[in-house]
Amino acid sequence: MTSITPDQWYGLLGIAVTVAGLVRLVTVADLVARLVALNVMGIGSLLVLMALAARGPQVDPVLSALVITGLVITVAFTGVGAVLIRRIEQSPPERREEDP
């Protein structure tokens, strides 16, 4: 019987987190919950990248740099998404002209 290595464990955990975020994204209608689900999916994909980086005897510096860059981009897009959600929810509903 073979045991699971830590990098395989983190890879599987990253896939599970990504799938959980995707399921939540598809099943919920609230915009804030969707933004959080996108963040969960992003963290899951970054976890998979770190698992891939740790496969060899040394950690791959390129994948580690991609993960750090992904974290910065995630924070920036979360802020932009929050501002957009706030503007969408504060915008007045459009008035419809009734047909005579």
pLDDT one-digit tens code per residue, 9-26? 999 999 999 999 999 999
Q: Is residue 1, in this structure, part of any structural domain at all? A: no
Q: Is residue 98, in this structure, part of any structural domain at all? A: no
Q: How far is CA 76 from CA 7, 25, 38, 61, in A?
A: 28, 19, 13, 23
61-81: average pLDDT: 94
pTM of the model: 0.83
Q: Can you give the CATH number for the domain in which 16 is found?
A: 1.10.287.3510
Predicted pLDDT at 97: 63
Q: How far is CA 8 from CA 4, 27, 53, in A?
A: 6, 29, 11
Residue 20: partners with Cβ closer than 8 Å, 6 or more residues away: 40, 44
Q: Is residue 21, in this structure, part of any structural domain at all? A: yes
Which single residue is written with the structure tokens 């060899």? 56
**pLDDT, tens only, 28-70:** 999 999 999 999 999 999 999 999 998 888 989 999 999 999 9
Whether 77 shows a pLDDT value over 90: the answer reads yes
Predicted pLDDT at 94: 73
**E strands in the chain:** none
Q: Is residue 95, in this structure, part of any structural domain at all? A: no
Residue type, 41: M
User: Domain containing 45: what range?
Assistant: 6-90
